[in-house]
Every structure is written in structure tokens, then in C-alpha cells.
Amino acid sequence: MSAPKLSPEEIERYARHLVLNGLGGPGQQRLKAARVLVIGAGGLGSPLLQYLAAAGVGTLGIVDDDDVSLSNLQRQVLHSTDDVGRPKVMSAADAIARLNPHVKVETHHMRINESNARPLIAAYDIVADGSDNFDTRYLVSDSCYYEQRPLVSAAVGSFDASLTTLRPYETRADGVPNPTYRCLFPQRPPEGSVPACTQTGVLGALTGVIGSMMALEIVREITGFGENLVGRLILMDARAMRFETLRYGWDYKNPLSGKPK
């Protein structure tokens, strides 16, 4: 399939990308051809969708079953006061259309579950998970493994956050499989051990930082520049403004790609 051509308006819009060493015209064409599925149009999904749309990702799928509430607006910057009560996917689609009319938006006003996850994920090239619960994270990561789709996964707490990329259906140069999400987090935390942000709060700007980092990682995955975060977990502590990177590997006991010793 030939690379999609950029219109004169797109050439001007993406001029700073087109002169960027390591991205350039071929990279911008790959962005235009890409189909990205974003799980959640909330705190992480808002900046993520804004930067992916601004970057010229050709098709953005948005999955969210929630409506905009007034308490969302402290961090979910894709939505406005006038959007309160509207489905987040519709509010997000309108915001993206205002930002970049060259981007196609596919809305999925539903909760992702075991019956719809795999066919939905299979329809896209890459997935970004900004969901707020472990059940969804395990479901999305397992589905991406089976459908062989790269996954950029992030999570935020009150003042802390994490980010990684998963390609567990591939192997390293030495033949060892890449790690799965279950290699990193083998078991769900006990029920009630991780309180929701409605109980503990969340720093609004923190979601903006991590959502933007997710967008950067998605762009890197699509265009191929730099070293991705496969096998690396970025941790951020907003109290100390400290970043750390932890390396993690394949666990032969994981239920997806594990093998008995």
C-alpha cells in the first residue's frame, strides 16, 4: 500500500515535523496512515488525544462509557463546562474536530469488556490504555497480546504515575520473549487496597504530563525513532519531581507466554 499523500494544508500544519531529523515526511505519512485506539477519554486520554490529533494521527478510536461531570474538568482538559452531561466520546470528538479536521475520529460509547475487547483492538494498529482500574488494564493487555498489537499503558495515583510499552508477542534479539503486563504485575492488588481518586484525589497537571508522555511514546512507536519503553517502566513522583526507570523482563510463569521450566 502506498503512503498517504499530505495536502498543501497538512504540509504547512506539520511543517515542524517535516523538518525534524528522524521523523520528516516519511514519519508524518506513517502518522497519517495510523489507526490508534485510546481507552478512556479522561485525565490521561485528554492530553493524549490532543497531542495525537495535533500530530496528525489519521484515525483515532475513543472508548469510554462515561459522561462529562463538573469534577472531571480539573484535569480532563479535552472537555469544557458546556460539555457537562455529554458522553465523553462525543465531547472528545468535537474537540478533536476543532483542533485538526484532518483526523478521523471513531467513537465507541461503551465499556470495554471480554466480549468486545479483542475485535475492537484488532481494528487498530496500536493501543493506548489510560483506564483507571486494574480489571480493564489486564483485559486490554491480554487482548493486545492475542491480537498482536503494541500497547502503551499508563496509570496515575494522587502524586505518582507510571508508563511502559508492551510488545509481548515479539522476542528480543536473543530469543527471549518480551515481557507481558502480567510479568510486571502478576496479580491484581487486593480489593480496596488501591483507593479511587474520588477518595484520595489526583493532581490535575500530573495527568497532563503522563498523558503527553503517552502521546510521545505512541508517536515513537508509529514513526520508529528512538528506543521504545519495552521492558522499561518509567515512574514519576510529582512531590519530588523525580523520574526513575526500572527494567523488567519476561517471567516464564506468566499465563500468556510462559513456559514450564
Please report, rounded to a whole number, the percentage of residues in the chain having pLDDT higher than 90.
85
**Amino acid identity for residue 236 in this structure:** M
Q: Strands 232-237 and 160-166: what pairing?
A: antiparallel
> How many CA atoms does the CB half-sphere of 26 hold within 13 Å?
6
Give φ, ψ of 10 to 5 degrees. -65, -35
76-101 pLDDT, tens digit each: 999 999 999 999 999 999 999 999 99
18-247 belongs to CATH 3.40.50.720:
yes
Q: Among 231, 197, 236, which residue's Cα sits nearest to residue 213?
A: 236
Look at residue 196 in the predicted model and tell me its pLDDT: 66
Q: Could you say which of 20, 54, 84, 197 is catalytic?
A: 197
Separation CA 68–CA 114 (nearest Å): 25
Separation CA 164–CA 99 (nearest Å): 27
**Amino acid identity for residue 123 in this structure:** A
Q: Among 180, 108, 170, 171, which residue's Cα sits nearest to residue 143?
A: 180
230-244 pLDDT, tens digit each: 999 999 999 999 999
pLDDT above 70: residue 191: no
The neighbour count for residue 232, using CB atoms within 10 Å, is 15
**Amino acid identity for residue 189 in this structure:** P
Strand residue runs (E) in 42-100:
59-63
144 catalytic? Reply is no
Give φ, ψ of 79 to 5 degrees. -105, 160
Q: Is the dihedral angle over the CA atoms 62, 221, 14, 212 positive or is it negative?
A: positive
**Amino acid identity for residue 238 in this structure:** A
